[in-house]
Structure 1
Amino acid sequence: MPIAELRAVALDCRDHLALAEFYAAIIGGTPVRDEEEPDWIELKGHEGTTLAFQQSPGHVPPKWPSVDGSQQLHLDLTVEDIDAAEKQILALGATLLDAGPRDRDWRVYADPAGHPFCLCVG
């Protein structure tokens, strides 16, 4: 029997609404702000674990790859056509960090706040 259930994955960032809208364009859903917690936004209406965004004015983006400023965490997102998905996320403001060999089934990007994430062929 598990001890707990995963409620959400939360990302710190300087502009939580902009980052929530970036991920909504990729995985679906709608950014929802709790009136009692103005520094917290959750992405609702998509399948899977809740993705949340916390306003953090002092946020320093992780460096990838780096032993001094590790990535801290990253998201793996499954896609059918990695080339088509790459064009779309770059247009949304993602940055390519590691394309690797073009026949590899995953690539590493940074979101607009600097968090690394991977597109993976599933």
Structure 2
Amino acid sequence: MIGTLNTTVMDCPVPLDTAKFYQALLGGYISPDEDTDWVNLFEPSGRQILSFQRAGDYVAPTWPDNTVPLQVHIDIRVDSYEDAEPAVLAAGGKLIDDSTQHPDFRVYADPVGRPFCLVLF
């Protein structure tokens, strides 16, 4: 081992807006020193979990066709879709695949179009 994971960074057009979306889903707090180019999201315990970086030329992935590749996505474990989905939609997310072929996960897009999954594992 050479180190430990510090954070996962997501490109986006407006870091603070994207951080607020994920804060609505995961809880925690946003770095008090956020700026227009970089924002961190922390668990309530203080552990940094996600970071958001301004990308002026951001283009959302085109899932599932991958014309614009996904590259990375996150999975959020939930107890039930019925409880979690309303919160995702209220925060600005969008359901993009609730395929019955895969009952253990549903695919959503965040407000900038990046896919993520709610999983029941």
TM-score (norm 2): 0.88
Conserved 8 A contact 2:93-2:108: yes
* 65-74 vs 108-117, which moves further: 65-74
Residue equivalent to 1:61: 60
Q: Which runs of 5+ in 1 are unaligned?
A: none
- Which of 38, 41, 51 is 1:40 aligned to? 38
Question: What is the CA–CA distance in structure 1 between the aligned matches of 2:40 and 2:21, rounded to whole Å?
Answer: 13
Q: Which runs of 5+ in 2 are unaligned?
A: none
Conserved 8 A contact 2:98-2:106: yes
Report SS of the residue matched to 1:50: strand
Within-5 A mapping of 1:2-81: 2-32=1-31, 34=33, 38-46=36-44, 50-81=49-80
Question: What is the CA–CA distance in structure 2 between the aligned matches of 1:93 and 1:116, rounded to whole Å?
Answer: 13
Report SS of the residue matched to 1:109: strand
Give the number of aligned pairs: 120
Cα offset for 1:30?
1.3
Conserved 8 A contact 1:106-1:120: yes
Cα offset for 1:65?
0.8
Question: What is the CA–CA distance in structure 2 between the aligned matches of 1:83 and 1:45, rounded to whole Å?
Answer: 24
More strand by percentage: 1
Q: Deviations over 1:16-47 (max 9, x none)?
A: 10110010011011111546x64110002346
Question: What is the CA–CA distance in structure 1 between the aligned matches of 2:44 and 2:54, rounded to whole Å?
Answer: 21
Residue equivalent to 2:118: 119
Report SS of the residue matched to 1:70: coil
TM-score (norm 1): 0.87
